[in-house]
Structure 1
Amino acid sequence: MRALIIDPALHSMGGHHYNATLALKAKLGALGIDHDCLASAYASEQAVRELDCTPCFTRSVYGRSYATPDEFEQQVRTTLDELSRALERRPRADLLILPCCDQVLAFALARYLRFRRAPHLLLWALYAPHHNKAFDDPSTTFLRRETRDAFAALQRVVGLQRISAFCETTEMATFYRDVASLEVGVAPGPGLVGGRRTGTRDGDRRGPPVVGCIGFANEAKGYRLLPEAVRDVLGHDPAVRFMIHGIFQGSDAPDQSTVFEALAALGPRVTVSSEILSPAAYLDWLSQIDLVVLPYDPAVYRTRGSGVFFEARRLGIPVLATRGCGFAQAAFDDGSGAEIASRSAASLADAIRHALQELDGMTRCALTAMRSGNQIDGILEAVVGKIVSGRGRRA
């Protein structure tokens, strides 16, 4: 059996695309499945070397303008041309894995497979048709047609029984079931971490509480709120520490150097980094945090998931997230998370101060809710079992 991971947005270490591919490769290797990977044409030398991936795609979901139907068609044609050239030089795969499938990739793949024997597909639709807006944003209604056409074409070519599709939130899965007429499950995308971190606040961890952020510092993630909010909390709590990590170079908000300079100037109780972290360093940073802060924009994150949230969830770390961010609702409900009332520095500071008072109880709830395993294990095993047994074979 042979598998191929396809992610046009896989560029470099430090984001969820890299972590997802790393997790998939580890599981495929454990299952004894030969595998390969196609990535961005601009993939770093390190990513190419460490993930053994092939640079391929000049465009990804993050590069769309969504301006006209012609723009969508051009994106599909470009992706199809690049995909065709890459696959011509490879043995046929029994399983294609798409960790971040949008309508462009779906349509390009449908066209490529039209006159070929179809493999099984395992895909995650992480975003709404517009990657930076919720699916119910009125300004994106016109994108539903291209999404419907793309996934309908993929179903016609591959067959419904050969497609295993997932979204990270219930709301997003419901949307894709309706628009794309797919059977869509709900599961976090492949992630970097699993298991239990060393030391927790209800066990052997000592010292002042640590509040932190980690990941790409895109505009919607609210890093600009942090300097004022952190200054406020430091002034009220003489013990709390902060660990703020954010990669802003290469994000959609590369002008945030002053944000990180302001954070670094707040004193020795604030540790700041904008470096790209290795998987081990990423896990080490996250594992030192007692409360993960996600002041995300609900206009963007109302219906989509968050890789950092799911990684914190797997490690048993409490979270704060802005009210209206759908990915965090489960944590709000079970007590392992608390809401930031509004997207402002004052609300963020208030939420942090309140959560610190309730941190022991939130930590116990987070450990109870902790998912010790990565769901990708069971998902991949089920798909491989289907392929081996011949289930889903087209007549």
Structure 2
Amino acid sequence: MDIIFLDNGLIGRGEHSYSLVKKVGEALAARGHCVRAFGMRSMDPAIVAEIGAIPHFRVSLYESESPTPNERRLLRLAAFLRRRPFDPAIPSERTSAKTLNASFREDLAALPADVLRRENLVVVPGLSQNQLLGLVRALRALPEGQRPRVVCQLMFAPDWTPWGRKARLGPKLYRKAFTLARPLIGRSLFFTAENAAIAGLYRELYAIDAKILPVPFGEALGAAPVADRPAFGFFGYSKCDKGFHLLPEAIELCRAKNLAADFVVQLQHGGWEPATVAAEQALRAQGGVRLVEGVLTEADYAAETGKIDAMLLPYDPLLFGLRGSGIFTQSVAAGRPVVAALGTFAAASIASGEAEGEIFAPYDAPALAAAIMRLAARLPESHARAARLARSFGDTHSAGAYADVLLAHAEGL
């Protein structure tokens, strides 16, 4: 049996896909399994050299399609009738779903002949409404005796889009795909979710029983004792759905309250969000903020996060929602407190006692600043509690735990 990852989110070392495929692949290989991974054609050549991933997919998990000329005319008219501005740059849900599902299906059909075979376990670590229907149609096109077991991670809520707006058609598109998939579910197609909140959404909306498959984040070094002058950090992609735009004002408010703390912020974005660009410029002009620029290697990430006392996770509860986060996982497993927005999975984990930190609401910079100051006032106590929670959390979010869930789906092959 080969275990094969099909991941059109595997592009560079900055994506969670790289760490997942690398760590889980190593864990599975250590148990004697042959592991292969197929990523994007545009994948960083260094990943190909390091983990042997094969460039294959043409279109990324995070891409979208513009409205057709006819859609654009209708949208312009609708905006006029509603007296709202028309933004031609907003992608089309309908065209994205149609085009990207077709592309994904074609890419699956173009895989080497020994991939989609009955004796293999295929893992799709993440997809959306723009890939699920293509996957289902590709599997249904195979002879029943040839279909592999496919474990598909439901990474996003049904109303997620790659362009940072809530989907209107997403729930309907998922329902269509699940209806078509019914004869396969539990036989050759199995669904998983990173956390109970996401699994609960799919169970309630579509009667899909998604098993929990927590995403690992490599080895987590234990958080160092709290420094005399604590440091708060923000790491990962600099995007509005992760609250990057809240940082300049929140830091400035902390400074105005004479908070004796430092801030470390990773800058990593493509310059396509005006609010993100403006936030970067504001951070560069602020004092007491150390900027870490570009993608970090695993060693550099561990070294940088090892210098901070608490992690800022100001993810947008509407846009980021209940999704998990590798940075959240690493922080909790390291015994590091976090600051999170009410309505996110990180905040729910704090509320349930699985993680330690502060929750803020409403979703704005003043509330974020207030949460930072509350945590700073009790940081030694918070660190001690986070350390007590770290071991059990790390055990259930390891590459080995991920491999255990995958291999349970391979029984009977």
TM-score relative to the length of structure 2: 0.82
Contiguous gaps of at least 5 residues in structure 2:
66-90
Tell me by how many angstroms 1:216 deviates: 0.4
Work out whether residues 217 and 327 of structure 2, in 8 Å CA contact, stay in contact via their aligned partners in 1. Answer: no
Within 5 Å, give how 1:380-395 maps onto structure 2. Answer: 380-387=403-410, 389-390=411-412
Report Cα offsets for 1:153-188 as digits up to 9, x if no partner.
34424x414444322333321221244432112343
Report Cα offsets for 1:118-156 as digits up to 9, x if no partner.
2222232111234249xxx9x645332321232343442
Cα distance 1:283–1:163, how it changes in 2: closer, same or farther (>3 A)?
farther
Work out whether residues 5 and 37 of structure 1, in 8 Å CA contact, stay in contact via their aligned partners in 2. Answer: yes
Residue 232 of structure 2 aligns with an amino acid whose one-letter code is: V
- Note the aligned Cα RMSD (angstroms): 2.7
Within 5 Å, give how 1:1-395 maps onto structure 2. Answer: 1-65=1-65, 67=92, 69=94, 71-88=96-113, 90=115, 92=117, 94-114=120-140, 115-116=142-143, 117-132=146-161, 140=167, 142-157=169-184, 159-189=185-215, 191-197=216-222, 199-201=224-226, 206-237=227-258, 239-249=260-270, 253=273, 256-267=276-287, 269-334=288-353, 336-370=356-390, 371-373=393-395, 374-387=397-410, 389-390=411-412
CA distance in 1 between partners of 2:386 and 2:61 (Å): 33
Residue 276 of structure 1 aligns with an amino acid whose one-letter code is: V
Q: Secondary structure at the match of 2:214?
A: coil
CA distance in 1 between partners of 2:409 and 2:315 (Å): 38
Q: Secondary structure at the match of 1:160?
A: coil
Work out whether residues 193 and 314 of structure 1, in 8 Å CA contact, stay in contact via their aligned partners in 2. Answer: no
CA distance in 1 between partners of 2:301 and 2:389 (Å): 22
Tell me by how many angstroms 1:59 deviates: 2.0
* The 10-residue stretch of structure 1 (160-169 or 110-119) with the greater mean CA deviation from structure 2: 160-169
Work out whether residues 122 and 151 of structure 2, in 8 Å CA contact, stay in contact via their aligned partners in 1. Answer: yes
Cα distance 1:362–1:238, how it changes in 2: closer, same or farther (>3 A)?
closer
Cα distance 1:383–1:21, how it changes in 2: closer, same or farther (>3 A)?
closer
Tell me by how many angstroms 1:313 deviates: 1.4
CA distance in 1 between partners of 2:389 and 2:358 (Å): 14
Residue 381 of structure 1 aligns with an amino acid whose one-letter code is: D
Residue 224 of structure 1 aligns with an amino acid whose one-letter code is: H
Cα distance 1:185–1:365, how it changes in 2: closer, same or farther (>3 A)?
farther
Tell me by how many angstroms 1:71 deviates: 4.0
Contiguous gaps of at least 5 residues in structure 1:
none
Work out whether residues 297 and 325 of structure 1, in 8 Å CA contact, stay in contact via their aligned partners in 2. Answer: yes
Work out whether residues 40 and 56 of structure 2, in 8 Å CA contact, stay in contact via their aligned partners in 1. Answer: yes
Cα distance 1:305–1:372, how it changes in 2: closer, same or farther (>3 A)?
closer
CA distance in 2 between partners of 1:302 and 1:255 (Å): 20
Report Cα offsets for 1:63-105 as digits up to 9, x if no partner.
2357354542322221111221123375846111111122343
Residue 192 of structure 1 aligns with an amino acid whose one-letter code is: F
Residue 332 of structure 1 aligns with an amino acid whose one-letter code is: A
* The 10-residue stretch of structure 1 (45-54 or 177-186) with the greater mean CA deviation from structure 2: 177-186
TM-score relative to the length of structure 1: 0.86
Work out whether residues 248 and 274 of structure 1, in 8 Å CA contact, stay in contact via their aligned partners in 2. Answer: no
Cα distance 1:226–1:70, how it changes in 2: closer, same or farther (>3 A)?
closer
Tell me by how many angstroms 1:305 deviates: 2.2
Residue 369 of structure 1 aligns with an amino acid whose one-letter code is: L
Work out whether residues 6 and 96 of structure 1, in 8 Å CA contact, stay in contact via their aligned partners in 2. Answer: yes
CA distance in 1 between partners of 2:310 and 2:98 (Å): 44
Residue 109 of structure 1 aligns with an amino acid whose one-letter code is: L
Residue 212 of structure 1 aligns with an amino acid whose one-letter code is: G
Work out whether residues 5 and 124 of structure 2, in 8 Å CA contact, stay in contact via their aligned partners in 1. Answer: yes
CA distance in 2 between partners of 1:124 and 1:318 (Å): 27
Q: Secondary structure at the match of 1:292?
A: strand
Work out whether residues 295 and 348 of structure 1, in 8 Å CA contact, stay in contact via their aligned partners in 2. Answer: yes
Cα distance 1:296–1:385, how it changes in 2: closer, same or farther (>3 A)?
closer
CA distance in 2 between partners of 1:109 and 1:299 (Å): 27
Q: Secondary structure at the match of 1:197?
A: coil
Q: Secondary structure at the match of 1:9?
A: coil
* The 10-residue stretch of structure 1 (167-176 or 59-68) with the greater mean CA deviation from structure 2: 59-68
Q: Secondary structure at the match of 1:298?
A: coil
Cα distance 1:279–1:254, how it changes in 2: closer, same or farther (>3 A)?
farther
Work out whether residues 76 and 104 of structure 1, in 8 Å CA contact, stay in contact via their aligned partners in 2. Answer: yes
* The 10-residue stretch of structure 1 (14-23 or 104-113) with the greater mean CA deviation from structure 2: 104-113
Percent identity between the aligned chains? 22
Residue 332 of structure 2 aligns with an amino acid whose one-letter code is: R
